[in-house]
Each structure stands twice: as structure tokens, then as C-alpha cells.
Amino acid sequence: MSEAPVAATPRPGSKAPLIVVLLLVVAGAGAWYFVGGSKSRIMTREGVVTYVDYANRTAELELPDPKGGTPMTVPAEIAETCKVSRGGKPLSVNDIQVGDRVRVKAEYERRKMPDGSKEPHYTAIEVELLEQGS
């Protein structure tokens, strides 16, 4: 007659159950991030317009590197409902020009690419043209 195997039980006061729960939480959070759990965030950045395509409603901005390195160029879509202004006065997307200093409020998300990777994607929802000296 063989005896059934006995499952190991943690000692009283052992931290094993807590560690297992923490590992599951961390693994779940990591999977949530990589699967795209956080669909979008709103970000505000200041930069200089380096490219505008009015017909396709796209633009590129040169943004300062937050770590003080080389500035980076970021492509963005311009939402159909994007509000454009200067000094509180409403303007048109067509008023945005290369070389303009702007403050952009944009929706940021990581979009899944055909190869399975995720790339950052920005959609401008508000653009404020800044005075050149500000």
C-alpha cells in the first residue's frame, strides 16, 4: 500500500504566501502593460514644429530630451477635433507653420505593429502657438 504524497505547507509566520502573491501581482501588471492594458494617456509637451502635412493632418515636433541630450523628433497625427489657438484666440490647423514654437496636448498610446512590437503614437488634441520669446 503506497501513501499519498503530502503537499508542503508553509511554516507559520513564513513569508512564502506573501512572496507568491507579490510575484503574481508583478507578473500580471507586466502582462497588462505589454498587452496594452493602458490604452492611452494625455501628455503635454512644448517643442518646435519641423514638418506639417495639412492634407493628411500630420506633423513632426522637435522636443528637448528630458535628460539634456540631443533633441528628438516626434511624429504626430492632428485630430479632426484638435483645437488650435494663439494667445487664447482660436485658429485653424492651417495656421501652424514650420518653425512655430508650440505647446501640444496629445493622446499617447503604444500601438501594436504588424511584427508584434509596440510603437509610441501621438494624436494632438490641442495646439497652442507660443510667442517666439516665451
Q: Delimit the domains of the chain by residue range.
A: 41-129
Contact indicator for 82, 94 with CB cutoff of 8 Å: no
- Residue 24 or 89, more confident: 89
94-124: pLDDT as tens digits = 999 999 999 999 998 888 888 988 888 899 9
Which pLDDT belongs to residue 26?
55
Return the C-alpha torsion angle 93, 78, 108, 120, nearest 10: -130
CATH number for the region 41-129 comes to 2.40.50.320
Measuring CA to CA, how many Å separate 50 from each of 29, 31, 44, 121?
Answer: 37, 36, 18, 17
